[in-house]
Chain A
C-alpha cells in the first residue's frame, strides 16, 4: 500500500539528514508504529506519506514514496486526499470550520461530491465514531478526546485507504486515549485500513502495532516486528522494561501475555516492603473550601486540601475535570469566588515580582510562553539578573537538566524536552518554595521524561520543597508522585498515597501494576526490590 524506496530527506539550511536510505513497504491492513527520540524525524516520515514533505515544507527528497501506486512526487497532497487521511499533532490547529458536521463534510466539499452522497457519509461517520450527539456542537467547545475523534472522523469520511496519525493520544487522558485507540483497532480489523502512528507514550499503543519503525535521530531506521525491535530498543514501555528486568526469554507487549509469562513469579509469597517514612514536613499550601467558576460552568467545587514540603502531588482526572483551574488558583492567577488559598503563609494573588518568583514557580502547558529571548544564553542571563543570582547560575542548572544545549540556539529550535528544560531552569533559578507544572510530559520521550523525573525528585527531596503537577501520564505518576489527588468534575474524588489511588482504579493503573496484580507494585523497581528481599 505504502512504499518508500531509497528515501533520503534533508531540510534546507540543515547539515544533517533527517532520513537516510529508508526502504519500507507497508501492506494493506497493517498497523505500523513509528518511534524515536523527540526531533528524530517521526513527523517528517509521516508527512512524507501524503507529500506534505517536501511539497509544503521544502527540503530535498531523494528516492520515491508511493501510495497505492501514486508517487507523491507527481501528485500534490490535495490530490491524495481521497486516499490518505492525515491527523496532525494538534488537531485544533487543523480544523477549518466551526461545527462538527461541517468539519466532517469539508474534505468532500473540496472534491465537489454531490450533496446527498455527503449526507450519507457524514451520518455513517457520526455513528462509527459515536459523534452523533455532538453533531451541531462548536468544535472549540469540545473536550480533547472529542476533538481527536472529530479529526479522525474528518479523515475517515473520505474513505481513505491509509490513515496517518501524529501523536493521537498525547493530549488525552487514559480513558479518552483508550477510546480513540480501540476505534483505530476496529477500523484496521473491519475495513483493513492501513494505519501509521507516531507516538511517545508506547505503553498506550504498543499492543496494537504489527510492526515498528525505529528512527534513531541520525537518519538511520530500523524496521521489524514489535518483539524484534523491543528486544534491544532504548525506547521501551514499562511492560518491556519489566520483561528485561525479570530476565524473561521473550518479550510480551500486552498485559495478557506478560501475565502468562509471570504466572510462577506472582504465585510466590513476598514480604511487603515498608515505605520509608519521609522526614519532617512543614505545611506549604493550604486550600480551604475553594470554588472557582467561569461564565457558564463551575471548574472547582468546594475544594479543601493541605500540601506539605517534601511532597510531590499529582493531580489526575479526565480532560476538563478542573486540574488546570486548580493549579491556576494555587499560583494565584485566577480569581476565585469562594474559599482561601494560602501559599507559604500568603495569598498568592498578592504576590508580585521577585517575591512571586521566590515563592511560586509555574510552568504552563506551553513552556515556550515563558521564553522570549533570542538565544538560550540571553534567556539564562535574563533569569540571572532578574533573580539577582551569580551570573551563570541558570546556565549551570540548564546544563544539569539537559546537558549539551548550545547557548547560541534559538529557544524555538530546541526540542520539546530541551525547551521544557530551559523553562524549568529559568523558573528554578529563583529557587521557589513551590513548583507547579501543568501537563509537563506532552511531547516528551522516555529519555526526557527520566531527566524531568530526577530533577523534580531532587528538587523536592534535597531542597525540602513541594511540587504539584497535573498530568495524564500514569507511568510518570507511578514513578514520581508521593501522593495523588483525583479530580472529577471539579470535586475531589480520591486523595491518598500514589499506591492506594492508582491501584484502586483499573483505568489509571500503570502497566506494571496490571501485570503484577494483586501484588501492590507500581514500578519495575518495586518488583525487583521485592524479589531481592525474598
Chain B
C-alpha cells in the first residue's frame, strides 16, 4: 500500500492536540494506550529516511527519563500515607525545609504516583518524537514564509542536522568499536561526541553555503513548484485528534 503523503504541519498539530489530551486524561492506562497507538502509527508510516529512524532513539530516551523520574519520585517528595513497600534511610534536612524529605518509607501509592507522572512526561516526549520522525524537516521548511528567512535557515540546519546526527553517531560508534575501544563510561561518550560535533558543524556550514548560493531569501516572495496542499486526509487526522481531546 502506498503511504499517504500529508501536509508537513499536520503531524505537529496532531501531536500538540494529543499532548493536551494526554495531560487531561489523568489516566495512566489511557496514556499508555495513546502512546501505543502513536508508536504503532510511526512504525507503520515512517519513511526509510534519517528522520524516520530517529523514533527508536526517542524511545530509548523516554525509557531513561522514566527510570530516572521514578527513582527520584521515590526518594524525594512529600510523604504519601498508605501501604509501605520498603523503607529507605531518611536524610535529615534542616528545619527550614518542612514538608520535604529524602528517603523514608516508600508506599505503594507513592510508587504508583511516581510511575504515572513519569509515564506522562515520557508520553509527551514520544508524541512529539513521533511528529519529528513522520515529517521531513525539509518539507517543513518549505511551509515557512520567506520573511522569517534567518529563522528559517537556523530551523533547517537544526532539524536536518539532528536526524543525520543519529546516522553519523552509529557510524562513528562502529569505527570506535573497530579501534577496539570499549564503549562504556564517560570517556567513550567523549570519543563519540567530539567527531560527531565536528562533522555536524561542517555539514551545517555546507548546507548554509549551498542555500545561500542558490538564492535562498533573495526575494521577499517565493513561488511554489508543487504547492503543498491541505488535503482531506490532513483534516481527518486533525479532527481525530480533536475528538480525542474532546473525549478526555
Contact = CB atoms under 8 A, between A and B. Distances in A.
A110 B174 contact: no
Nearest to A328: B174
A127 to B, nearest CB: 17
B62 to A, nearest CB: 24
B209 A353 contact: no
A353 B179 CA distance: 8
* Most-contacted residue by chain A among B48, B50, B179, B223 (CB, 10 A): B179
A368 B49 contact: no
Interface in B161-182: 171-172, 174-182
Interface string A52-84: 100110000000000000000000111111101
Given A81-B213, A364-B174, A369-B176, A115 B223 contact: yes
Given A94-B209, A353-B182, A78 B216 contact: yes
B176 A94 contact: no
Contacts of B212: 52, 55-56, 76-78
B7 interface: no
A118 B174 CA distance: 43
Contacts of A370: 175-176, 178-179
Nearest to B216: A110
A154 interface: yes
B138 interface: yes
Nearest to B174: A333
Interface string A79-93: 111101010101001
Interface string A96-111: 1110011001111111
A115 B222 CA distance: 11
Interface string B211-244: 1111111110111111000000000000000000
Interface residues of A, number: 68
A427 interface: yes
Majority secondary structure of chain B interface residues (helix, strand, loop or mixed): helix
Contacts of B138: 96-98
B198 interface: yes
Nearest to A53: B209
Given A81-B215, A84-B213, A412 B198 contact: yes
A111 B215 contact: yes
A101 B225 contact: yes
A122 B176 CA distance: 43
Interface string B195-218: 100110011001111111111111
A350 interface: no
Contacts of B209: 47, 52, 56, 77, 88, 94
A112 B214 contact: no
Interface in A356-371: 356-357, 360, 362, 364, 366, 368-371
B57 to A, nearest CB: 17
A441 interface: no
A356 B178 contact: yes
A258 interface: no
Nearest to A387: B180
Contacts of A47: 209
Q: Looking at A110, A140, A141, A356, which has the most chain B CB atoms within 10 Å of its CB?
A: A110
Given A56-B208, A364-B175, A110 B48 contact: no
A81 B209 CA distance: 12
B139 interface: yes
A386 interface: yes
Given A110-B217, A369-B172, 12 more contacts: A52-B212, A56-B209, A78-B214, A78-B215, A78-B216, A98-B136, A105-B226, A111-B215, A352-B180, A357-B180, A368-B199, A369-B171
Give 3 nearest A-B pairs by CB, closest first: A94-B210, A81-B215, A105-B225
20 contacts: A55-B212, A80-B213, A88-B210, A94-B206, A101-B225, A105-B226, A106-B214, A109-B225, A110-B217, A110-B219, A112-B221, A112-B223, A154-B214, A295-B48, A357-B179, A362-B178, A369-B172, A370-B176, A370-B178, A372-B192
Interface of B: 47-50, 136, 138-139, 141-142, 156, 171-172, 174-182, 190-192, 194-195, 198-199, 202-203, 206-219, 221-226
